Amino acid sequence: MGTYTDFFAILATGALLYTINRRRKPSLPLPPGPKGLPLVGNLFQIPSELQWIKYHEWSTELDTDIIHLQAAGTHIIVLDKYEAAVDLLETRSSLYSGRPRMVMMMELMGWDYNFALTDYGDFWRKHRRLAHQSMQATAIKQYRPHLAQATRNLLKRLLDDRNDGNLIAHLRQLAAETILSVAYGIQIQQENDPYVELAEGANQGAIIAVVPGAFLVDTIPILKYVPAWFPGASFKRKAREWYKMTMAMVDVPYADAKRRITNLQKIGAGEKDDAFTEDVLRNTLGALYSAGSDTSISAIGTCILGLLEHPEVLKKAQMQIDSVVKPGHLPDIDDEPSLPYITAIVKETLRWREVTPIGVPHALSTDDEYKGYRLPAGAIIIANEWAMLHDKDVYADPFEFKPDRFIDPETGKIDYSRARDPGHACFGFGRRICPGRFMAFESLWLSIASIISTFDIEKVKEKVTLPSGEEVEKTVELTHEYEAGLAKVIDKSYYTINNIQRYAILPMYGILSKLQLIFTSVQVHIEISTVQSQTYRVREMQYIEVAQTTLCSDTFNKKT
């Protein structure tokens, strides 16, 4: 009899504890947030643009580093501080590595091929593994000749200036040339290349659609079934056009490269189940193509804007380059440890005007608790990277372009104890961190170092009002701001370039082939003659010779 009594006592105790536990969890409050309306919550309070500004304002008003919004039943958690993002997105990455449902982008615009936007699972793991293997720190050494040639071509275009000083056109060409060469082995035309327009068209829609709340269909998914002719369904017509561009961006360069390579049914070592299928290869390369096509345009343009406003930074950087790099040579990525001020400029560029102010949202897979708040399963998690990179407690004068914040004044070396490395925020968090971050940094560093070593960047003689740092920070459009505010305010010079000689052809296949690449040498001879009309002003350099390089597999040796 006692056995039955003990059994029922244990059962009753377990039931009581279960009931208490269930009641206790919902009793925790949600994080603070602005008061919403019945049913729709904060749906109409979330702006369709510059959301990161409003999110930060709410966090400041409520004195919290984490806020809660509710949009027609969808929970949104915004992390305003770096520490909160690390605590949740990295320390608890197993719970926060999902992606929310993005109806506009994934289901209507065709971006479901892109593993960076898909939910956590087998599809993501297969594609991420290929991206990681191709873009990890040790692997990108084999792409350095591609980066070098694209950068040299940029300098040539800037010197020729055949596009009437359109800086954005030159940068767009650089971005496309770099990623197409690395990913597909495609060498594009130096002017009016269709691949440049292809990526630009597809990414324009993505930049708009990836922001939570930009389209009502993401909040009310049933709207995806509304016919395109229905009043108010303009999003369907936009999606139809953007879908065509997206598919072309994924399929066209891959098909072009594939025509030059046979036997692509299985690529990769290992067992059959571990090999990368052609679909995985095509999708992954498409994701790299889309990611690399726009971000470098914004970053380099941001840097030039900062140098325009702070000529003393430009002069200091040029002096350091002149003290390290041999006369007649351009900086090489191997010079990076000896050029800490260039690195500081690149880091400040990434911080000053973050390319993705709020990044791609995460999704919470199960209920969680943080700092006494309840975080419900299925919630959209937004890291406000813009706020993190402009935290005045971490970065003094956060809206000012100050590379010296990362330099130890006594040693002249990089010192992140004075100001946190912005790379910890601008490339994402946890398992969703950008796999191409190492190549992105090297490409950006090489481009900026080469421009600084070659050009004096000045304002036009006429008075021009540059946008303030804060105004620049609040702008997410990557090209329009620069065409209006930057390309027209650079003092320019017209020059002629002669005697361009290439003694070897750059390897043609990039990631798409697993062939050994041998890059024998590239020499560029530049003769400069100034004409009367000033546009860009080149520094006093009469001869630039690109160091001979040799590349075989993963070995990279520089020969002088």
226 pLDDT above the threshold of 80: yes
The pLDDT value given to residue 111 = 96
Using DSSP, state whether 199 is helix, strand or coil: helix
Handedness of CA 164, 165, 167, 171 (dihedral sign): positive
287 in Cβ contact with 131 (< 8 Å): yes
- Cβ neighbours for 113, distance < 8 A, ≥ 6 positions apart: 250, 282, 283, 286, 287
The pLDDT value given to residue 485 = 32
Choice among 268-282, 294-308, 461-475 with the minimum mean pLDDT? 461-475
- Name the residue type at position 103: V
| Rounded Cα distance, 255 and 243, in Å | 18
The pLDDT value given to residue 550 = 23
The pLDDT value given to residue 238 = 95
552 in Cβ contact with 516 (< 8 Å): yes
72 in Cβ contact with 43 (< 8 Å): yes
Q: List the chain domain ranges.
A: 31-559
Question: Which residues contribute to the annotated binding site for heme?
Answer: 434
Which one, of 230, 151, 186, 228, lies nearest residue 510 by Cα?
186
463 pLDDT above the threshold of 80: no
429 pLDDT above the threshold of 90: yes
Angstrom distances, CA of residue 532 to CA of 161, 167, 496, 527, 528: 14, 20, 13, 17, 13
The pLDDT value given to residue 553 = 25
The pLDDT value given to residue 511 = 59
- Section 306-313 average pLDDT: 91
- Section 384-412 average pLDDT: 97
The pLDDT value given to residue 504 = 30
- Section 486-492 average pLDDT: 34
| 359 token code pair | 């990044």
- Cβ neighbours for 424, distance < 8 A, ≥ 6 positions apart: 82
449 pLDDT above the threshold of 90: yes
**To 10 degrees, the CA torsion angle through 389, 203, 241, 198?**
170
Chain-centroid distance of CA 319 in Å reads 30
Question: In this prediction, what percent of the chain has a pLDDT beyond 90?
Answer: 53
Question: Which residues contribute to the annotated binding site?
Answer: 434
Helix 144-160 with 167-184: angle, nearest 10 deg: 160
- Section 372-376 average pLDDT: 98
478 in Cβ contact with 175 (< 8 Å): no
Choice among 59-73, 154-168, 458-472 with the minimum mean pLDDT? 458-472
pLDDT band at 15 (very low <50, low <70, confident <90, very high): very low
- Section 55-67 average pLDDT: 97
More reliable by pLDDT, 218 or 541: 218
Question: In this prediction, what percent of the chain has a pLDDT beyond 70?
Answer: 73
- Name the residue type at position 454: T
Q: What are phi and psi of 479, to 5 degrees?
A: -110, -40
Which one, of 485, 504, 493, 486, lies nearest residue 549 by Cα?
504
73 pLDDT above the threshold of 50: yes
Angstrom distances, CA of residue 289 to CA of 150, 187, 246, 285: 15, 14, 11, 6
Chain-centroid distance of CA 535 in Å reads 30
pLDDT band at 185 (very low <50, low <70, confident <90, very high): confident
266 in Cβ contact with 276 (< 8 Å): yes
Q: How high is the mean pLDDT of the chain?
A: 78
510 in Cβ contact with 258 (< 8 Å): no
For the stretch 337-359, pLDDT in tens is 999 999 999 999 999 988 889 88
- Section 212-234 average pLDDT: 90
- Cβ neighbours for 397, distance < 8 A, ≥ 6 positions apart: none
525 pLDDT above the threshold of 50: no
The pLDDT value given to residue 165 = 60
The pLDDT value given to residue 164 = 56
Most confident of the following: 442-451, 454-463, 497-506: 442-451
Most confident of the following: 278-282, 290-294, 412-416, 423-427: 412-416
CATH for 31-559, among 3.20.20.80, 1.10.630.10, 1.20.120.1200, 1.20.1280.50? 1.10.630.10
